[in-house]
Amino acid sequence: MMNKPSEKITNIEMFENSSENLSPENKQERAIAIYDLIENNSFSLIGHHGPYHLFLSREARHLLFDIRSEQNDFLNSFYLAMGPFRKIVRDYKQICESYYEAIRTKPPSQIQAVDVGRKALHDEGALIVKERLNGKIDLDDETARRLFTLICILRSR
């Protein structure tokens, strides 16, 4: 996909339930994913031109994508059911916990083995993001990967 400079996200806000406490690792992953997304993404809302402001929130068993212009004009919003993400998010969270534990206690060879599995699940989650957004948003693989990270954090309990 050829990316025009304006077809990108320039701001992301996440609305999380304040009663949910994120782990330090999740807070760091969220900050990195948002930073990386803002720095480099390919995101095009079908039928509208960017740049875009993206508001993400979890509402019951759905994820709300609220997409606005840089002037905060409403462009589109839609819900994604979280059901298709449930298993991959659970598996990804488990392997991330193993990865963080391995970093603290295991030799580099074991860390690398866990990291390979973590990256494979991350790629699988990104593929689901792309499939679920198909027909609504055109995005590249790296943008889908970072959005999957944010979805995992919103699914955290």
Q: What is the pLDDT along the chain (157 residues), one digit of tens a residue?
A: 444 668 999 999 988 665 456 778 778 888 888 999 999 999 999 999 889 999 999 888 899 999 999 999 999 999 999 889 999 999 988 888 888 888 888 888 888 888 898 899 999 999 999 999 999 999 999 999 999 999 988 876 5
Q: If DSSP codes are grouped into helix, strand and coil, which group holds residue 71?
A: coil
- pTM, rounded to two decimals: 0.86
Nearest CA-CA partner of 54 in 122, 146, 125, 132: 146
**Beta strand 43-45 pairing with 62-69:** unpaired
Distance, in Å, from the CA atom of 127 to the CA atom of 145, rounded to the nearest integer, reads 8
